[in-house]
Structure 1
Amino acid sequence: MERRNQTSISEFILLGLSNQPEQERLLFFLFLVMYLITVLWNLLIILAIRTDAHLHTPMYFFLTNLSLGDICFTSSSVPKMLVNYIFGNKAITYMSCLAQVFFCLLFGGIDSVILASMAYDRYVAICAPLHYNMIMSQKVCASLGAMCWLWACIDALIHTVSLTQLSFCGQNEIPHFFCELSVVIRLACSDTLLNDLMVYILGSLTAVMPFIGILVSYTCIFIAVLKIPSTHGRRKAFNTCGSHLAVVCLFYGTVIGVYFNPRSTHTAQKDTAAAMMYTIVTPMLNPFIYSLRNNDMKRALRMLFSRKPDLSL
């Protein structure tokens, strides 16, 4: 039987992280600072890469996409939460909630597949350096970037359209700080089997498979690093790859925990804490982990601040 949307709810209530005024004021300033750090640092990364021709390489092409995705990802949830804290109005309309679901999935999916593309780029650079320019050509990088954005858009669109087929006729309080897909599905008063199947199928393609690809890439990288004769070189490579892998595991681990664990293991507190990790903390950490430990990136940032960007080839 064809499902029809018989929603009688015109708005949802985002309960947020606390209902205590003192705690809400503290949370407002905390998340405002984290949001500003995320946006400003990622913007600086994009500007530095764009103004330094030495950084017009595949690695920094993907880093630019990751920074843009991080800005949009955190902007799809945090500003609404901050506005709620300012005005004390936690309501969000049905259509706005769907829009938030779409954009969170879109930019979260972009982050996921871009991280996998970056891991593949590093794998080719370290394990097949002689063929790097041929494998990671400008055309290949552009195609990979376009495919990342296209797939993320398709994934988000399918989930959002499937949500419109659900009926919401009872509980309208969302125990979260934004309209997260899994939480919204659980509020439906109609059959959610198809939606749950889409979460597992598309989630496997968007999160699980990229995560496995990253682990395989870094395993190959670690094996290659072990062959480096210099102890200092091995230590430097392990430190860099280890920090990358730590942030990757934080991002994918919390996403997979939210969307692939049985419903019986979910609690509002666990889901909210996990969502904070991949929507707020990880986008804030990415510029520091992927950029500020890199000497070329530090040089580009210094040139940007001195207003003397290097545009030479």
Structure 2
Amino acid sequence: MSTLPPIAFAGARIDRADHIRSDPVALEALRDGGRLLHMEGLDPVLTEDGRLAWSDVARLAADAELVFLGIDPDHGGIGCFAQVPAHFPREAMIAGPRSWQAMAVLPADELASYGAARALVGWHARHRFCAQSGHPTTLTKGGWQRNCTDPDCRAEHFPRTDPVTIMLVEHQGQVLLGRQPRFPAGRYSALAGFVEPGETIEEAVAREVFEEAGVRVRDVTYVASQPWPFPSSLMIGCHAQADDPAITVDTTELEDARWFSREDVGDALQAIASGDAGRSFGAPPATAIAHVLLRWWYDRGD
């Protein structure tokens, strides 16, 4: 069995310290001497040596909306915080140039810390009003909850994570990959789609593959998952088998879908390591779970 390569946005060393979130006194003490993650909007700010930039929380106004990220065991248990931006930038729904730069240079644990902070503060910026009453909401429990201010409502809202299935479909030693119009020229990736209410992961995989490519699948198995903070998804990596390779592309979802051989995949993975496209297609970057799935499948060799 092949070993999975590292998964981007996983492996943060910051202790989320759930027991502190409901303790206002402990939170205030950590805030007084805490450190603040620098962000411009939702983009990371990096130091000259390619690390996350931090400063003292004390420089902020007392009424600044701060999210408690946790305590850092590598810095004496200091409290770590991020500030909620005043507005949610629409372009932050997808990864922009500065986020891709961070993915390329940040150590794995720091990239994971940034990803969690981005997803969390982005959720707060999008949820300043109650979905039930329309009244303003206030941050509570260190930023892991928002409460409606309407005394007749008092609804509690919690950070949202959207489950997304992303799957490699196999048929007789080939895998099904598709491309969206926004992809760089020549790039193909694993098919993906949101899990809908009332679905299992296996049902979502089968539905999405059939909707996008017209292919029926069976024997869905889980491989790995990845937090993806653009804006806040959990990518659930799966593998499935197909009996009929006939493809019918839904052009509202995909520009194209094709079957690729193990040789094609190996060539594309080798090429992307140098920033190039393979002879048959361009592979997703190593920071995407689609790349992890392709590497896992190729290394199995069966």
**Superposition TM-score tier, normalisation by shorter sequence:** under 0.3
Larger RCO, structure (CA 8 Å, separation 6 or more): 1
Instruction: Choose between structure 1 and 2: higher strand proportion.
Output: 2
TM value normalised by structure 1: 0.25
Instruction: Choose between structure 1 and 2: higher helix proportion.
Output: 1
TM value normalised by structure 2: 0.25
